[in-house]
A and B are shown apart, each in its own frame.
Chain A
Amino acid sequence: MIKIEHICKKFSTVPVLEDVSVTFDEGKTNLIIGKSGSGKTVLVKSIIGLHKIDSGNIFFHHRDFVAMSVKQKQELRREMGMLFQGSALFDSLTVEENIKFPLDMFTKMTTKEKRERVNFCLHRVNLQDVNDLFPAELSGGMQKRVAIARAIVQNPRYLFCDEPNSGLDPKTAIVIDNLISDITHEFNMTTIINTHDMNSVIEIGEKVIFIHQGKKSWEGTKDDILTSDDENLNDFVFASNLAKRMKEKL
């Protein structure tokens, strides 16, 4: 469980996040949705400490992240996995070396144990015989899967995904969404997904937070979205004429 309270963040004098408070549930896929530039990515990066917040509190299972030293934050981050928008795989390392990297860094596993763990993670994301390939030799969808495998290799308690579907075709996007959802339930992780893809929301949105102009505008489940009377949320979700007509019929 991750709890954030009254988070505020400015870049120079421009407020990007204003008084955002949310509890992200354990064992669920928590989706943060909103228009481009609404502050979703800043919110996720603030939660994991890549951006320093101006005020507010962040708790990881009641552990105060803001009050932690750099060393303590580094240790807590070993409980986190992150899937970046562009996958962020290390160009100079093979698929196996990429996934193995956190194990090399932080465990005392033997080479055999590490290889078994890498193969397990690759199998879990439905990839085989790619161990010796470099990221540049993989398709976008395969890169995302390798990035997921790397993110889960240390059994993280917290999984963060920044636009996991960007650049993917709708079918592959749903495969990735379901993979993230399955892994979340299987390992009882607290998963936070930052997206503006409504297909993802409908597919896996167990808890949905809508951010509008840096503020939390709405919170609920994927089913609640369809009947919500939040004007900003409806503008975002039912942006197309077809969707607007569907909403009118509901």
Chain B
Amino acid sequence: MKIIEQIGKYLILMSRVFSKPEKNKIYYKQVLKEIESLGINSIGIVIIISIFMGAVITLQTRYNLENPLIPLYLIGLTARDSMLLEFSSTIVGLILAGKVGSNIASEIGHMRITEQIDALEIMGVNSASFLILPKIIAAVLFNPILTLISMFVGVFGGWAASVITGALTSTDYIYGIQYWFVPFYITYSLIKTVVFAIIITTVPAFFGYYVKGGALEVGHSSTKGVVTSSILILLFNVILTQLLLA
């Protein structure tokens, strides 16, 4: 029963979020700020994680492929497809849910308990739209770029690992990542990223927006936001995979 109530509250909040902005110019500036805060500031962590993911996928695949009948270039293909299909969108999405989600929930929650949201409402500003819409737009625009960076860097990480450890030759790896390339995998991954971006921004924002109490409750709302958005990312990953690849 409580879940239905929460979903209802979430939908009502979203109807306020997606209403006409009071002044486009101000929202545009907010979007640029959020792109920097949520997107550009996440590039570093995405690069680090993606390099290591690509490297680990390559090394694990190599150590599991002992059969001499299987050509080694398939390791490159496996690393590429793993990054494109799953890791660059879903795993990066989960990591951003933690980093960006907790940031959003605590920022909005703090504004709620210090009456800054009430101050916006009293000024005649639609606080839900002003605070949440720029974050959604920023994430929807920039997260696909993060995913593309992750794909590129992840595949590079696999190459670096194979060359450094001698697991397979550079030629085999590069042949593998070019072999049987399906461009739709990138489209599929970007579609997932956009859906995850909406989840990563709106769910923690929802928990932050309706927080009641003090600093402790803001912390709880942040945790709830991250956990719920992570679960939703996994759920929508299954749903989108079935819809787009089955």
Contacts of B2 in A (CB 8 A): none
Contacts of A90 in B (CB 8 A): 116, 119
Asked if B126 lies at the interface with its beta carbon under 8 angstroms from chain A, I say: yes
- Please give the number of chain B residues whose Cβ is less than 8 angstroms from any Cβ of chain A in the complex: 15
Taking a contact as CB atoms closer than 8 A, the residue among A48, A75, A86, A91 that contacts B122 in the complex is A48
Q: Is the CB of A101 within 8 A of B118?
A: no
Contacts of B124 in A (CB 8 A): 74-78, 80, 105-106
| Secondary structure of the A contact surface, majority rule | mixed
CA distance A138 to B3 in the complex (A): 43
Contacts of B69 in A (CB 8 A): none
- Please give the number of chain A residues whose Cβ is less than 8 angstroms from any Cβ of chain B in the complex: 25
Known: A88-B114, A88-B116, A90-B116. A82 touches B23 (CB 8 A): no
Asked if A85 lies at the interface with its beta carbon under 8 angstroms from chain B, I say: yes
Of all chain B residues, the one with the shortest Cβ separation from A160 is B122
Q: Is the CB of A102 within 8 A of B26?
A: no
Of all chain B residues, the one with the shortest Cβ separation from A108 is B23
Give a binary string over A177-215; 1 marks a CB under 8 Å from any B CB, 0 the rest: 000000000000000000000000000000000000000
Q: Is the CB of A82 within 8 A of B126?
A: no
Asked if A59 lies at the interface with its beta carbon under 8 angstroms from chain B, I say: no
Within 8 A of A (CB), among B115-146: 115-116, 118-119, 121-126
Q: Is the CB of A82 within 8 A of B122?
A: yes
Residues on A facing B (Cβ under 8 Å)? 45, 48-50, 74-78, 80-82, 84-86, 88-91, 101-102, 104-106, 160
16 inter-chain pairs at a CB distance below 8 angstroms, sorted by A residue, are A50-B121, A50-B122, A74-B125, A77-B122, A77-B123, A78-B123, A82-B118, A82-B119, A84-B118, A86-B115, A88-B116, A101-B123, A105-B26, A105-B125, A106-B22, A160-B122
Contacts beyond the supplied A84-B118, A105-B124: 8 A-B pairs with Cβ under 8 Å: A50-B118, A78-B123, A86-B114, A88-B114, A89-B116, A102-B123, A105-B125, A106-B22
